[in-house]
Amino acid sequence: MIRICATAAAVLLAFSRLAQAEEPVKIGLVTTLTTPAAVIGRDVQDAINLSIEQAGGKIAGRPIELIVEDDTLKPDVGRQKTEKLVRQDKVDFITGYIWSHVLLASRKSALDAGAIVISTNAAPSDMAGKLCDPNFYTMRGQGDVMSMALGEELNRRGVKTVYTMAPNYAAGQDVVKGLQSVFKGEVVGQDFTKWGDDPQLDFSAEFSKVAASGAEALFAFYPGRATAFMTQFEQSGLKDKVNLYSVYTLDQIALPALQKGNAAGALGSVLVDYWYPDLDTPENRVFVAAFRKKYGRDPSNYAAAAYDVIPLIKSAVEAVGGDLNNKAGLRAALEAANFKSVRGKLTFGRNHMPLDNYYALEVEAGPDGKWHMSKPSLALERGEDPYVANCKMPGAS
């Protein structure tokens, strides 16, 4: 009888493991696939599909099921799609979220349902501080830190006066606040322009104010709208009057279109980023080469962050032996980030925001005539956001 029971238990365990191996790891992706901002969403989706392909389509022996939803750049739509993913599709992880206002509208639906959320881009200040959560992680540093790095670069260059322009939503406010927190000179003017699915695309009035301000530098943040912004900057004649500095604006999505449109105002401008295509790590070389081969274009920083999501999830699921019900184990493994990132070593802060190195880069025409980012120099090492002190989840102070 004992032998029969032991044999039955072994058979049941084998069947249980077989059933578990056949169940997919469900990953929901909320991104923007319509509106002009879809060019960013495409990069995110393409990078995740490439990463899944390179993982052999499986995690811990279980197939990966990717469910993609379009937020249409609207917070209410993003929330509805998030609710579908957790209630109807019952996903194990949700990733994506390019825009802070979409993430802020969606966060409660996802986290209250117990889903683990890994943002590929959006990292609003509230979610780094008072709204931090054990089940929330982001693949890019909180929005202030990029502009804090740029502020430090302005200080090194001896810039004394700056005018700021950004869209009027959570991320736009965060990046301007980040710049102001470290810049030692004077902000002589500031504009927040209309954003959303019907954004302001005529900046002539703002550029006139920049010219009249006498600022020696213009700071700009216009993700997904670089063509309109840079074309008008070129036409305004400001290039010969102010030096342009930007974050989340000039990237591998924008530069080909700007070069095609001969928006030469971009040349010589300075930006700051945690990643660039020539970043010299083994994983980045593989990623960039594979992305170019598969899609025929350079990946953007949005793609680089999204590409890292799959190996991060893979490292966590494998650490718990494929047991997706082991939430504590999954969280500990995600925090450890025991995988090889395109950026080298990915380190999360206590609020689950990455502590990245940030590089100052200059836009120039390469030897082949192609506009690219060059002359990298370290602007900020292991940058940490100022909101972590407001994060009260275990492990944070």
240 and 328 belong to one structural domain: no
Q: How many CB atoms lie within 10 A of CB 364?
A: 14
pLDDT tens digits along 269-308: 999 999 999 999 999 999 999 999 999 999 999 999 999 9
pLDDT tens digits along 160-179: 999 999 999 888 999 999 99
54 domain residue, yes or no: yes
133 domain residue, yes or no: no
70 and 153 belong to one structural domain: no
105 and 181 belong to one structural domain: no
Q: Is the pLDDT of residue 88 over 80?
A: yes
Q: Give the pLDDT score at 21.
A: 57
Q: Which of 364, 187, 376, 151 is nearest to 267 (CA)?
A: 364
The tally of domains found in the chain comes to 2
Question: Average pLDDT of the chain?
Answer: 92
First to last CA, the chain: 56
Tokens 């492990």, residue?
395
Number of H helices, E strands in the chain: 14, 13
Please state the rounded mean pLDDT for residues 178-191.
96
230 and 366 belong to one structural domain: yes
218 and 363 belong to one structural domain: yes
Q: How many CB atoms lie within 10 A of CB 60?
A: 17
188 domain residue, yes or no: yes
Residue 330 burial by CB count (10 A; 0-12/13-18/19+): exposed, middle or buried? buried
Distance from C-alpha of 162 to C-alpha of 174, rounded to nearest angstrom: 17
Q: Is the pLDDT of residue 98 over 90?
A: yes
Q: Give the pLDDT score at 2.
A: 65
Q: Is the pLDDT of residue 223 over 90?
A: no
pLDDT tens digits along 99-110: 999 999 999 999
394 domain residue, yes or no: no
129 domain residue, yes or no: no
Distance from C-alpha of 145 to C-alpha of 85, rounded to nearest angstrom: 31
Q: Which residue has the higher pLDDT, 195 or 98?
A: 98
How much of the chain, in percent, has pLDDT values that exceed 70? 94
46 domain residue, yes or no: yes
242 and 299 belong to one structural domain: no
CA distances from 339 to 57, 222, 282, 344 (A): 17, 32, 13, 9
251 and 364 belong to one structural domain: yes
Distance from C-alpha of 299 to C-alpha of 111, rounded to nearest angstrom: 30
Domain extent, residue 266, equals: 144-274+356-383
Chain centre to alpha carbon of residue 237? 32
Q: Give the pLDDT score at 13.
A: 44
DSSP assignment letter at 24: -
DSSP assignment letter at 113: T
348 domain residue, yes or no: no
Q: Is the pLDDT of residue 158 over 60?
A: yes
Q: Which of 358, 397, 303 is nearest to 150 (CA)?
A: 358
CA distances from 232 to 57, 194, 220, 237, 239 (A): 44, 16, 13, 9, 11
Q: Whole-model pTM?
A: 0.88
105 and 176 belong to one structural domain: no
H helices present in the chain, as ranges: 2-22, 38-54, 75-87, 100-112, 125-128, 143-156, 170-182, 204-213, 226-236, 254-260, 282-295, 301-307, 309-319, 327-336
321 and 221 belong to one structural domain: no
Q: Give the pLDDT score at 284.
A: 98
255 and 309 belong to one structural domain: no
51 domain residue, yes or no: yes
17 and 115 belong to one structural domain: yes
100 and 157 belong to one structural domain: no
pLDDT tens digits along 11-69: 444 444 444 457 999 999 999 999 888 999 999 999 999 999 999 999 999 999 999 99
Q: Which of 163, 156, 110 is nearest to 136 (CA)?
A: 110
Please state the rounded mean pLDDT for residues 227-250.
93
For position 227, which CATH number holds? 3.40.50.2300
How much of the chain, in percent, has pLDDT values that exceed 90? 85
Amino acid at 395: G
